[in-house]
Each structure stands twice: as C-alpha cells, then as structure tokens.
Structure 1
C-alpha cells in the first residue's frame, strides 16, 4: 500500500502544469521557416562581436548558474543547460531571461516533465510539433537542445503572429490566449531571471 502511494506521488510530481498548445493554421512559408530552424544541428556555441560581449555573456552565465543551482545541482549539467538556453533564445531573438522564466512556469526546470495534455520537456512542447515542423520523432522533445530550439522557435513565431504583443503570444504558447493567469506568471518569473549589471 505504501509502495503504491509512493509511485502515485512520484508520478504526480513529474506532471507539469502546461496548457494545451493548439495546432495553428500557418502559411507554408512559416512552416518551412520553422522546420529549417529546427533542422539546424549546430551545437550551442556562442559567437561574440567583440570582447565586451563575450565578457558580458560570461557574467550572465555565472549569475544565472548561481540562481539555478537549486534546480540543477550538477554544475556541468547546469552550465550545458544555460549555454543552450542562451544560444537558442538569442538565436530566436528572445531575451534569455524570458525563456528561463517560461521554463520555470512550464516545467520547473525538469527535463522529462510531461503535462496532463502531453506537452514535453523543459519548454513543454506539444508532440504535434514534431510532426508539423520536425521529423515526427516525439522522443527528441526530451533532448535538451532540441526542446529549447522548438520552444524558442515556436514562441518567436507566436510573438510575430501577435505583432509583438508578448502577453497574447504567451497565452497562445500556453493554449490560453486571452486569459491572464499564464502570461502574468511568465512575466513575473521573467523578473527573477533578468540580468542586470
């Protein structure tokens, strides 16, 4: 009896609180752009325009690593996660702090989180995206960089669809467009992950 209760408790602990992203009707050009963004297999290695940019990135990495220590205790895993998060968010034209705030709300930094509606990984990407813009391999949504790449690319698409309105784009990302709870939670979490020098 106690063993069964423990299994149920552990199963519930890994369920994320993500909403139900909707499969959007999109132009072929948007679908192709997203598919090309996902296919790009380059590793998350940052390129800096000057030494000052590289130093700012190093300070960001040290600051975020300290903030994330409780959620991802292993230093190497934490560093790899932050490097990938910075790379993928920057690549998509997103503030890395926004992406970290979204991940906090979506999965609480759990790589293998699965929501009640089936969204997967850090950024709680719905499996239909693997078919729409990927190679139909849903298991890849648990791969750190792949999950971050999908999530950042999808969020960028929604921001563009909403003409820069982040509130509506976040609602669309979560499948709760027009409802305040989710966008407000992400915007609040973003404050924790903002980087100020």
Structure 2
C-alpha cells in the first residue's frame, strides 16, 4: 500500500474524521472531512497517471494476463466489444491495485452498483460504473460532474472513496461497503457485493 493510503488510514483511524451516517439504504453521504483526508483524496484523484500496469518480473506479467483473459471471458455477455471490455478490465485492475483493493472485489461492487453500465444514474443521482455521487467532484475534485461518466475517472473516484472507508473502518470491509452505499449497519448491500465478488475470484 502506498504511503498516501497509509497516511490516510492513520488519520482516519485515529481522528474519526467522518461522522457516522444514518443506517439507511441509499448512496454515499456527504460528510465532514478532515482537511488532511480531503487533501489525500484530492491528490489521489488528481494523479493523471494512465492505467498502464507495470510488472516486477515475467511471472507477474503472466499472472496478470491470465487474470485479464479469464475475466474478459466471464464479462463478455455484459460488455460485448473486445476493446471496451479489455480497457475496462485493465483500468479496474490498475485503479484497484493503486488503491490497495482486490480487483475482483471491485468488479463485484460494480456488478451490484451498475451492472457494468458506464452511464448508469441512480435515483439519488450517483453516476457511472461505481455509482459515485456527484458531490465528491466538489469535495475532492474539480467540480466536473460530467467526468464521472469517464471510465478511469469514475473508477479512480470509486476506488479512492472505498479505500478511505475501509481505512475508516479499521479494515472491516463489511462496514466499509455499507458506508460506501450509505447503508452502514444493514446487511443487504455488503452481502450482495461479497456474493458478487465470488464470481470474480
């Protein structure tokens, strides 16, 4: 995990930087962020590094290629175009790993959130693959809400926000997923994501 995420985890864990959201189904809640957390998230979002994977050795590259081939086959019914599907999977892998998340878990979350629809919009206004609420663009981004329909931007926001929630919950993925959905304390959403994750392991 990068130093940025370690620092974010320490700040979130020790300072209790976000208030507890109401225990109700919905989308991410706008909450008060400590300046240090806001800055860390903002820096993570601003990084314009393209989703180009790097590998330490040929065996690591081979594992990645095997993952990509396997996931591409499984996802073909949802994303029929080969180029779109492979770009999507490469970006999921890159952004998930960048945030210290399991790419399969991120795929499971996307399955539940948007069913792999790039332009999905919820009743609450959450957008894109990872159903990111537009208020986040003002809190940690450049206020460009339309950018949430850009594949990499959406995945980067979603992964960064989920990483923050995991750190806030001291590594408890179940509670972090509930917080991501705005339903912390209720089992339906975390259980749905954890079940979907099994399809991508």
User: Is the shorter-chain TM-score for this pair beyond 0.5, marking a shared fold?
Assistant: yes
Which entry has the higher C-alpha Rg, 1 or 2? 1
Separation in 2, partners of 1:92, 1:155: 9
Indicate whether 1:145 and 2:157 are aligned.
Answer: no
Equivalent residue for 1:79, pick from 82, 86, 90? 86
| Aligned alpha-carbon RMSD (Å) | 0.8
SS in 2 for 1:115: coil
- How many residue pairs match? The answer is 177
Q: Which structure 1 residue ranges, 5 or more long, are not aligned?
A: 1-17
Structure-1 residue corresponding to 2:16: none
Structure-2 residue corresponding to 1:65: 72
Q: Within 5 A, what are the aligned runs for 1:107-126?
A: 107-126=114-133
Separation in 1, partners of 2:167, 2:31: 13
Structure-1 residue corresponding to 2:6: none
Q: Which structure 2 residue ranges, 5 or more long, are not aligned?
A: 1-24
Q: Within 5 A, what are the aligned runs for 1:88-107?
A: 88-107=95-114
Separation in 2, partners of 1:24, 1:193: 31
Deviations 1:61-118 (A, max 9, x none): 0000000000000000000000000000000000000000000000000000000000
TM-score where L is the length of structure 1 = 0.89
Deviation of the 1:24 alpha carbon: 2.1
Runs of 4 or more, structure 1, over 4 Å off, are: none
Equivalent residue for 1:182, pick from 189, 196, 199? 189
TM-score where L is the length of structure 2 = 0.87
